[in-house]
Amino acid sequence: MSRIASIGECMLELSAAQAQPDLRRLGFGGDTLNTAVYLARLDVPVDYVTALGDDPYSERMIEAWRGEKVGTDLVQRIAGRLPGLYMIEVDEHGERRFFYWRQQAPAREIFSNDRTADLSQSLLRYEWLYLSGISLSLYGEAGRERLFDLLRQFRAEGGKVAFDSNYRPRAWSSVEVARREIRDQLALTDIVLSSLEDETGLNGVGSADEACDLIHGLGPRTVVIKQGGQGCVVSINGRKTIVPATKVDRIVDATAAGDSFNAGFLAATLRGEDPLQAAKLGHRCAAIVIGHHGAIVPRATFLAALRA
């Protein structure tokens, strides 16, 4: 199976404890890291690409990723720095809000430091690269230009790029900047895994069909628009199919639902399955994740539910 590199940021996560909601449980998460973990659990060879500090929390993250069989050879360690942190607040419907402390996180500099050239050469050896709109928001204009140069070369040499638009307004200076940069990324993308919520906020579209048409016009052949409990629309060169979501009895926490869907979709794709079957596996993964607290469900729990 092809090896994939997932690019982005992992942060410390503070989420409410199940029995005592006023207490906070310390974990870790980040959209592309969540996807990398679930890819590894689906037996996809995956490496995570980010930067961390030299602190004990960064060390624990790396140990945990290795325990999940996520490769860490491309994780940079920056002396004297600390990873970012975020807090999750979840309402009675399982919907969540995020609060971030991340301005000095070392992950923001991986495409603008003295190791960037070596990193880019390493990434050219992969068959697939995966990143998100959150990844793009980290790097600044100069960092994004170096990333885009890498992606142009990567695709020219036969590599494939998957991208989740994952638009977070607070991560960008303006919606106009986000729209411009994400559209530049889409022109360098083979598979787009977005959501109607993100596309509405970013581009003002009113439907998944409209979102698919807009994205296809920028170049990508395969577009998936996630719609929560309404399933997703899979569009191949403009031919659209609705794939229903897996039914769940109760949503506990929607954190990482889209990230785990992406892992299922990409795992099936890398195994050679067609996009509709890939979407079904994506929905199965998301249904497991939203039934539990936090971004990353305990490994044994996830695998047992997947087998069931």
pLDDT above 70 covers a percentage of the chain that reads: 97
**Mean pLDDT over residues 25-36, rounded?**
91
Q: Rounded to whole angstroms, how far apart are CA atoms 190 and 138?
A: 22
What are the structural domains of the chain?
Answer: 4-10+32-84+106-307 (3.40.1190.20)
Which residue, among 67, 69, 75, 83, has the nearest Cα to 10 in the 3D structure? 83
| pLDDT higher than threshold 70 for residue 182 | yes
The alpha-carbon radius of gyration of the chain (Å, integer) is 18
By percentage, how much of the chain surpasses pLDDT 90? 83
1 pLDDT above the threshold of 70: no
What CA–CA distances, in Å, run from 288 to 153, 231, 244? 37, 15, 15
The answer to whether 162 touches 190, Cβ cutoff 8 Å, is yes
Q: Which residues contact 4 (CB under 8 A, 6 or more apart)?
A: 39, 44, 45, 46, 47, 126, 127, 128, 129, 130, 162, 266, 270
DSSP code of residue 87 = E
Per-residue model confidence (pLDDT) at position 17: 66
C-alpha torsion angle, residues 39, 40, 44, 50 (rounded to 10): 80
Least confident of 78-82, 181-185, 268-272: 78-82
Helices (H), the chain: 31-41, 56-67, 116-123, 133-156, 175-186, 196-203, 208-216, 257-270, 275-289, 299-307
Where b means 16+ CB within 10 Å and e means fewer, 277-297 reads ebbbbbbbbbbbbbbbbbbbb
The pLDDT of residue 103: 78
Residue 33's pLDDT band, with cuts at 50, 70 and 90, is very high
In this prediction the pTM is 0.93
pLDDT one-digit tens code per residue, 241-267: 999 999 998 888 888 999 999 999 999
Find, among 103, 96, 114, 160, the residue nearest to 137 by Cα.
Answer: 103
Instruction: Please report the pLDDT score of residue 20 as a whole number.
Output: 67
User: Whose CA is closest to 150, among 105, 190, 120, 174?
Assistant: 120
Contact between residue 124 and residue 159 where contact means Cβ atoms under 8 Å apart: yes
Query: Catalytic pick from 114, 149, 259, 274?
Result: 259
The tens digit of pLDDT for each residue in 294-306 reads 788 999 999 999 9
- Active site (annotated) includes residue 91: no
